[in-house]
Structure 1
Amino acid sequence: MTAELLVDARNATGECPVWHVAEQALYWVDIPAKRLHRWTPAGTLDSWSAPEMLACIAAREGGGWLAGLESGLFALQTEASGQLRGERLVALDHAQPAMRCNDGRCDRQGRFLVGTMVQDMAQGATAGRLYSHTAGEGARLLLDDLIVPNGLALSPDGRTLYLSDSHPSRQLIWAFDYDPDTGTPGNRRLFVDMNAHPGRPDGAAVDVDGCYWICGNDAGLIHRFTPDGRLDRSLAVPVKKPAMCAFGGRNLDTLFVTSIRPGGDLADQPLAGGLFALDPGVQGLPEPTFAG
Structure 2
Amino acid sequence: MHAELILDARNATGESPVWHPREQALYWVDIPARRLHRWRLADGASQSWEADEMIACIARREDGRGGGWIAGMQSGVFQLQPGDDGRLQSTRLAPVEHAVPAMRFNDGRCDRQGRFWAGTMLLDMAAGARVGALYRFDGESGPLTARLGDFIVPNGLAFSPDGTRMYLSDSHPEVQAIWAFDYDTDSGIPYNRRLFVDMREFPGRPDGAAVDEDGCYWICGNDAGLVHRFTPDGRLDRSLAVPVKKPAMCAFGGPGLATLFVTSIRPAGDLSDQPLAGGLFALSPGVKGLEEPVFRG
- For 1:145 and 1:64, the matched residues in 2 are separated by 32
SS in 2 for 1:102: strand
Q: Distance in 2 between matches of 1:69 and 1:135?
A: 16
Question: How far apart, in 2, do the equivalents of 1:18 and 1:26 lie?
Answer: 6
CA distance in structure 1 between the partners assigned to 2:185 and 2:224 by the alignment: 34
Following superposition of structure 1 onto structure 2, how do residues 57-96 of structure 1 map, counting pairs within 5 Å? Answer: 57-61=58-62, 62=65, 63-96=67-100
Distance 2:23 2:139 in 1: 24
Matches within 5 A, 1:1-292: 1-41=1-41, 42-61=43-62, 62=65, 63-138=67-142, 139-292=144-297
- The amino acid of 2:7's aligned partner reads V
> What is the Cα deviation at residue 64 of structure 1?
0.5
Matching residue's letter, 1:271:
L
How many residue pairs align between the two structures? 292
Out of 229-238 and 60-69, give the one that drifted further.
Answer: 60-69
Distance 1:290 1:116 in 2: 19
Q: List per-residue Cα deviations over 1:63-118 (Å, max 9, x = no partner).
A: 01000110000011000000000210111010000000000100011100000000
Deviation at 1:136, TM superposition (A): 2.7
Runs of 4+ off more than 6 Å: none
Counterpart residue type for residue 135 of structure 1 = G
Q: Secondary structure at the match of 2:256?
A: coil
Alpha-carbon distance in structure 1 between the residues aligned to 2:225 and 2:294: 30
| Cα distance in 2 between the residues matched to 1:35 and 1:135 | 24
Once structures 1 and 2 are overlaid, which stretch shifts more, 216-225 or 35-44? Answer: 35-44
Asked if the contact 2:51/2:90 (under 8 Å) is kept, the reply is no
What letter corresponds to residue 226 of structure 1 in structure 2? T
Q: TM-score, normalised by structure 1?
A: 0.99
- What residue identity is the alignment partner of 1:145? D
1: CA distance, partners of 2:90 / 2:289: 31
1:135 Cα deviation after fit: 1.4
Q: Structure 2 length normalisation: TM-score?
A: 0.97
Q: Secondary structure at the match of 2:36?
A: strand
**8 Å contact from structure 2 (residues 210, 219) kept in 1:** yes
| Cα separation, 2, equivalents of 1:50 and 1:58 | 16
Structure 1 position 142, deviation (Å): 1.2
Q: Secondary structure at the match of 2:200?
A: helix
- Per the TM alignment, residue 50 of structure 1 is displaced from its structure 2 partner at its CA by 0.7
Equivalent residue letter for 1:278: L
Counterparts of 1:140 and 1:111, CA distance in 2: 14
Q: Which amino acid aligns with 1:120?
A: D
Secondary structure of the 1:284 match is coil
Per-residue CA shift, 1:16-53, capped at 9, x if unaligned? 00001111100000000000000011211010001101
Structure 1 unmatched runs, 5+: none
